[in-house]
Structure 1
Amino acid sequence: MKVRATFLSFKALVKNQFGCKLKTLRSDNGAEFTLEAFKQHCAATEILQHFTTSYTT
């Protein structure tokens, strides 16, 4: 899962550069962010997931 690997790299960068932990992740409702494995990882690391509203016309 490429998104998970990229997210883990970003999370490590934030921790190393700024010395703080991510608390919230805001993303669209893309399948890569709503997969159960990704949601479980966020829950296990106490990261709240917020999803943007869908585009409507």
Structure 2
Amino acid sequence: MICPICANATDQKYRPFCSRRCADIDLARWMSGSYAVPSDSDEDPTEAMDATDQVAGKPH
């Protein structure tokens, strides 16, 4: 298996990455929004965020 960031051989300790550095690069890409999961939903993103905010504000 090769590292999806730099194409070096993976290290079992950091699998599927070759090093902690590549794992951190991948995490930073997710956190910055560089990666996105596409959606086929017709839902308006603003409405979805408003609904999420309403649910998040309610105690469980």
Please confirm whether the aligned pair reaches a TM-score higher than 0.5, indicating the same fold.
no
Which structure has greater strand proportion?
Answer: 1
Flag the structure with larger Rg. Answer: 2
Q: Give the helix-richer structure, 1 or 2.
A: 1
Tell me the TM-score normalised to structure 2 length: 0.26
TM-score, normalised by the number of residues in structure 1: 0.27
Higher relative contact order, structure no. (Cα contacts within 8 Å, ≥ 6 residues apart) = 1
